[in-house]
Structure 1
C-alpha cells in the first residue's frame, strides 16, 4: 500500500491501541517491582497525591474542572493513549533520574513506538524500506566502545524511526511490518555502518485525548526529526537514545522534552543528494 494510504487512514485511536497492546505484550512491569516494599509504594503514592492536592488548592480548581479531568482521563484509557501521554510528558524525567550515574553516552526517552525483533542487518547494511521510500538517503557510521575506550565487538544497534510523513511501521496502516526498522551488530573493531533515510519532523497524534489536551492548553504537537536507537553489549548497560538533526524548528521546543545537545548529529551532504553522518556510542559497564 502507498504512503498516502497510511496518511489517509492513520488515527490517534488506532496508534494508541497499537502502542498499548505492544507495551502489554513486550513489558512485564509488575514483575520487575513485585518485591517493592510497602514503604516505597506509600512514599511515591503519597507524594504524587500531595502534588495533585497542592495544585488544586493553589489554583482553586472548580468541580467543573475536576469533572472535566475525570472525563478526559477516562477517554485517555479508552483511546489507548496512556503510553503516548506518559512517554511524551513524563518519561524524560524518569530517564534523567535513571541514567544520571552514567559516564558514557547520553540517552533519552524510548517513546511508545519501539518494536523488538527487527530484521538483522549485520555490521554494514540497510534498514528495510520501500522501493520508493521518500527522504534523503543517509549513511550512518560509528563505533561502539566501553568507557575505557575498548571497542565493543558484537554490540547490538537497534534503529527505528518514522517515515517522511511521520508514521511508524506497526503503528500506522499501510506500511510494511518492518519498514525503517533494523538491528545491526558492530564489527570486531566496534564499527558499524547503517543505510537509511533522513526522517522528517512530525506531530504526535492530535485527534485523540492527548490532542484535546494540547489544543486546550494552547501547546504545539511537534517533535523534531530523530532517529531512535537502542545500543547494548554483554556486561554493559543498555543505552536508549534519539539522535537529532541541526536546524530543526523544534529542537528547542520538542513537545516530549527529549532533545539534548549531546544527541545532535552533524550530517554532511554528498554529491547526488544523499548525506553521511558519523556518531558513535560509549557504553557504561554494568555496576556490581
Structure 2
C-alpha cells in the first residue's frame, strides 16, 4: 500500500499550479494576433451572450451572481480548469477535423512538460507498492502510410488510484506516474503503470459552485493522458479510457470518443491487465 495523502488537494492549490504551468508554456503572444479575427470572435461571443440575456430575461440578481462567480474563478485560479473542462473539447474538434491518423482529445489542465525520459520498455515512476491494478500499455507508433516511426516519443501521465495528479496535489513525488517514453527502432513501446481511477474535478472552488448550482456531476472517467510525436509528423494529444468504466458515457469534460476506449485483458500470469494500442501520426 502507498502512504495515505494527509492533505487534500484543493481547488485553489491545483488551480494555482495549473495557472502557473499554463503561463510557463503559453503558446502564443497577443502581439501577433489578427485584429480582424479578434473583432469577429469577440463580437459574436458578446452577441451570443446578449441573445441569452434577452431570451431568458436575465435579472440583475442573476447578473450580479454571474459577476461574483467570475471574480471567484479568477481568485481561485480556476480559469484553466473551467476552460479545459467545458470549452477545450470544441477547440480540439476544430483543430483535429482534418486529421487522418489517431483521434485526439483534450489536454486538460494537469500536463507538465519535461517528464523523465525512459526507454521503450519501462515503468512509469511510481511509489513502492503504488495502489491500483497493474497495467501493461503497449503498442507501436507509425505514420499514416504504415511506416514505423522509430524514436517516436510518448509522453504519458495520469492520476493515481485516489484520482490525484503529481505536482497538483500534496504528498506525491514530483514525477509520480509521469514519463516520456522513447519508442524502439520499430516504433514499439511497452509501458508498465497502474490503471488510474475516475475522479471528481475540484469542487471546493468556483467551478464546484457552478456544478452544484446547475445540478451537474463533477466526474471524469479513468483515463491515460498521452502526447505522441515524431519528426516530420503532427503531435497528437489524446486521452484513453477504459471500456465499462464509470462516467465513460457522461464525462463532465465531454472528451470521450469511441476510438479512444480501451478493452484491457488479464495478463497471462494473472497479475494485472494489458492492452495494445497503436498510434498513427499524420505527416506535418
Shorter-chain TM band: over 0.9
Q: Please list every run of 5 or more consecutive structure 1 residues that lacks an aligned counterpart in the other structure.
A: none
Kindly indicate whether the alpha-carbon contact (under 8 Å) linking 1:83 and 1:112 is maintained by their aligned counterparts in 2. Answer: yes
Say which of 269, 274, 277 aligns to 1:276. Answer: 274
Give the equivalent residue in structure 2 for 1:260: 257
How far 1:4 sits from its partner (Å)?
2.4
Say which of 214, 219, 228 aligns to 1:217. Answer: 214
Give the equivalent residue in structure 2 for 1:47: 44
The reply on whether 1:151 has 2:148 as its aligned counterpart is: yes
* CA–CA separation in structure 2 for the residues paired with 1:273 and 1:28: 42
Per-residue Cα deviation, 1:162-199 (whole angstroms, up to 9, x for no partner):
00000000000100000000110111111111000000
* CA–CA separation in structure 2 for the residues paired with 1:272 and 1:100: 40
TM-score by length of 1: 0.96
TM-score by length of 2: 0.97
Kindly indicate whether the alpha-carbon contact (under 8 Å) linking 1:3 and 1:175 is maintained by their aligned counterparts in 2. Answer: no
What pairs with 1:173-212 in structure 2 (closer than 5 Å)? 173-212=170-209
Q: List 4+ stretches of structure 1 deviating above 3 A.
A: none
CA gap 1:137/1:155 in 2 versus in 1, 3 angstroms: same
- Equivalent pairs counted in the alignment come to 282
Q: Please list every run of 5 or more consecutive structure 2 residues that lacks an aligned counterpart in the other structure.
A: none
How far 1:34 sits from its partner (Å)?
3.0
Give the equivalent residue in structure 2 for 1:83: 80
- Identify which range, 51-60 or 267-276, moves more after superposition: 267-276
Give the equivalent residue in structure 2 for 1:13: 12
Per-residue Cα deviation, 1:179-223 (whole angstroms, up to 9, x for no partner):
000110111111111000000000000000000000000000000
TM-align CA RMSD: 1.0
* CA–CA separation in structure 1 for the residues paired with 2:54 and 2:185: 60
Say which of 51, 61, 66 aligns to 1:64. Answer: 61
How far 1:3 sits from its partner (Å)?
4.7
